[in-house]
């Protein structure tokens, strides 16, 4: 573990605290699904079963930590679609993009559906979400998630994200791209081991292609969110810098009442666009959730 993440100690603040956070398990985060039930009703149901509930983001009552809940997928409330286990940082991606009701939205890499269903909730099941997922093995759980959570404003497609058809333009695009997944890793037992994704070195090229295509199908005046669950600047700032250098894209600020760190503008001799300071990095010792990166991107009118 140390040899893998030590190369990030020059940009991850309080690096020893970061390293210590990796030996603690990620707590159970829940999202209350208001497409199926009200917040008060679901809270009462869970509290009546003896579960402790703690707000995970004070600005949104649907987001909770359940410290004593180990298997939320076994609960009746899960099967009814009242709750969805989902990392706080994953939920924040939908809140940052914040699609309006009646808008058109493309989720380029939609499985397993947590963000897709959350955006449907924010949109109150209005407008249209195109949930794109290339792989059949991932389309099935995506469909099940959307059905269980009562999503009705969504259609599924199965294109390679980097080749998504150009004939439609969207108000919002989510490019939550395939990544090396470093932010998910926790070294919680002797068997824990971070496994390098096969072809990790090839990921930035794929990510650049997906981001360029996402920007191409974005309407003028629209917003795109690029996100990963990894710390690697080559997959984060490096990819977004490529878009900025090859388009008229603009970085938009991310305003959240949470302890987040700005994007970085250089690493290992690589210089990134200075606007990347407006991007957001989420670390597990700051927010006890999955490590995450987000860049909110606007297309000028």
Rounded CA gap, 124 and 103, in Å?
A: 11
Burial of 27 (0-12, 13-18, 19+ CB in 10 A): middle
Whose structure tokens read 């991932």? Answer: 138
Q: 157 near 111, Cβ under 8 Å? A: no
Say how many C-beta atoms besides its own lie within 10 A of residue 108's C-beta.
Answer: 28
229 among known catalytic residues: yes
The catalytic position among 91, 154, 179, 229 is 229
Rounded CA gap, 171 and 156, in Å?
A: 18
Asked if the bond preceding 112 is cis, omega within 30° of 0, the reply is yes
Tell me the two tokens of residue 78: 């899960």
Note the helical H segments in the chain: 2-5, 15-21, 39-48, 76-79, 88-97, 114-122, 136-148, 203-216, 237-245
Q: 280 near 257, Cβ under 8 Å? A: no
Sign of the C-alpha dihedral, residues 43, 47, 51, 56?
A: positive
Question: Which residues contact residue 274 at a Cβ distance below 8 angstroms, ignoring those fewer than 6 apart?
Answer: 265
Rounded CA gap, 235 and 184, in Å?
A: 15
Burial of 187 (0-12, 13-18, 19+ CB in 10 A): middle
Active site residues: 229
């Amino acid at each position: 573990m140390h040899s893998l993440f030590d190369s990030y100690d020059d940009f991850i603040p309080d690096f020893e605290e970061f390293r210590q956070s990796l030996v603690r398990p990620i707590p159970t985060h829940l999202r209350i699904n208001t497409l199926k039930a009200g917040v008060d009703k679901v809270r009462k149901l869970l509290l009546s079963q003896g579960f402790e509930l703690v707000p995970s983001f004070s600005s949104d009552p649907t987001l909770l930590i359940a410290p004593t809940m180990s298997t939320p997928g076994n609960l009746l409330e899960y099967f009814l679609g009242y709750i969805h286990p989902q990392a706080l940082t994953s939920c924040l991606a939908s809140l940052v993009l914040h699609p309006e009701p009646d808008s058109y939205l493309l989720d380029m890499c939609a499985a397993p559906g947590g963000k897709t269903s959350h955006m449907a909730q924010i949109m109150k099941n209005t407008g249209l979400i195109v949930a794109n997922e290339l792989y059949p093995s991932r389309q099935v759980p995506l469909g099940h998630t959307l059905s269980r959570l009562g999503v009705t404003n969504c259609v599924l497609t199965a294109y390679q994200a980097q080749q998504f058809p150009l004939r439609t333009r969207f108000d919002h695009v989510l490019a939550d791209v395939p990544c090396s997944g470093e932010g998910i890793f926790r070294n919680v037992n002797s068997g824990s081991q971070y496994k390098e994704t096969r072809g990790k070195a090839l990921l930035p090229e794929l990510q650049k292609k997906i981001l360029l295509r996402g920007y191409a199908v974005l309407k003028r005046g629209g917003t795109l969110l690029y996100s990963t669950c990894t710390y690697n600047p080559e997959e984060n700032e490096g990819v977004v810098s490529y878009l900025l250098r090859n388009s008229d894209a603009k970085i938009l600020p991310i305003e959240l009442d949470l302890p987040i760190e700005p994007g970085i503008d250089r690493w290992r001799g690589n210089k990134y666009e200075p606007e990347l300071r407006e991007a957001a990095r989420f670390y597990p010792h700051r927010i006890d959730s999955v490590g995450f990166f987000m860049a909110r991107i606007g297309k000028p009118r």
